[in-house]
Amino acid sequence: MTRASAPGKVILFGEHAVVYGQPALAVPVTQVQATAVVQPSDSGLLIEARNVGRRYGLADAPPDDPLAAAVRLTLSRLAVRTPPAVALVVESTIPIASGLGSGAAVCTAVVRALANYLNYPITNPEVSSIVFETEKLLHGTPSGIDNTVVAYGQPVYFVKGQPPELFTVAQSFQLLIADTGLPSLTKLAVADVRAAYEKEPDRYTQLFNAIGDIASEARTLIETGHPTELGPLMNRNHALLHEIGVSCPELEALVTAAQDAGALGAKLSGGGRGGNMLALVAPETEAAVRAALDKAGVKRVIGTHVGV
Ligand code: PMV
């Protein structure tokens, strides 16, 4: 039996603007994981996606099935013509459609588990490029940030079309990742931003540039050990995301609650219109921010230390 897992992720800064060539920062979230296990099967290559209660043969999967695509692309990369008779059992604790990278993580786990089973020492760039193809099936025109941070499992500074830069966290910091409980399809938010950009290209270009500047500044603060100064940048990035039209009342309620309760900063994370927000907290304000998020109707909170 071979097993591989992959973490979830959050985008710290730069979502949406990254689609237009601006830098973005993302970090893995190891508190949630996707796992793929390869077991012997007596009826060809089977995929069992436990969270969605589906079990199907590779041969029967439609071309746009991301897990099947991950398998096909891995086999083709390894020049394996006949799929092995195995069941790939996939499980995940990462909430779906909430900006935590669930799609990229399940596909990353599948690619790694299959490559391990076939004794192929697959590299992070290979995994990332295969998962990028599967992300296209899920998201349409992904920037590539999700597959990169999940496949590398390290903080990344990402500019579309360029090799990812891994960056170091000089001093750790604590985030609360708070779920609105509202599932949201990144594909739709990205398409709406595209339509708005086409209507008002100059205004949107300015907004994207401002977000990109924040992401670059944030990288410097993280690398030089000034994490508390990220708070005001998060608040500014959130205001810009609100302006480009990807917030929603549920996200606003959580962001405002966290800010009012003493978080150093707060912003939505990922595609927006639901999903998760992030609050940067100090040890002395964590409990008050958690209580405020509860009161504001949060569905669940994951606490994570970045850089530990
Ligand atoms: O997958 P999500 O919801 O974390 O969003 C991805 C970030 C976007 O910038 C909105 C889209 C992209 O492809 O980069």
Query: pLDDT tens digits for 185-200?
Result: 888 999 999 999 999 9
Confidence at residue 136, expressed as pLDDT on a 0 to 100 scale: 92
Best probe residue, ligand 1, of 9, 15, 211, 277 (max atoms within 8 Å of C-beta)? 15
Which residues are part of the catalytic machinery?
A: 146
Q: Is the pLDDT of residue 273 over 90?
A: yes
Q: Is the pLDDT of residue 98 over 90?
A: no
Confidence of residue 106 (pLDDT cuts 50, 70, 90): very high
Rounded to an integer, what distance in angstroms lies between the CA atom of residue 283 and that of residue 287?
Answer: 8
29: left (phi over 0), alpha (psi -120 to 50) or beta: beta
Is residue 245 a contact partner of residue 197, using CB atoms and an 8 Å limit?
no
End-to-end Cα spacing for the chain = 31
Whether the pTM exceeds 0.75: the reply is: yes
Q: Is the pLDDT of residue 308 over 90?
A: no
Q: Which two tokens stand for residue 28?
A: 């893995």
Helices 102-117, 145-152: crossing angle, 10 deg rounding = 50
Best probe residue, ligand 1, of 25, 137, 138, 146 (max atoms within 8 Å of C-beta)? 146
Within 8 A by CB and 6+ apart from 118, the residues are 78, 80, 84
Q: Which two tokens stand for residue 176?
A: 């609360």
Is the distance from the beta carbon of residue 11 to the nearest atom of ligand 1 less than 6 Å?
A: yes
> By three-state DSSP, how is residue 189 classified?
helix
For residue 104, give the ligand 1 atom closest to its CA. 1
Confidence at residue 236, expressed as pLDDT on a 0 to 100 scale: 98
Is the distance from the beta carbon of residue 139 to the nearest atom of ligand 1 less than 6 Å?
A: yes
Cα 37 to ligand 1 centre (Å)? 27
Confidence at residue 139, expressed as pLDDT on a 0 to 100 scale: 80
CA angle, 9 then 10 then 14, to 5°: 135
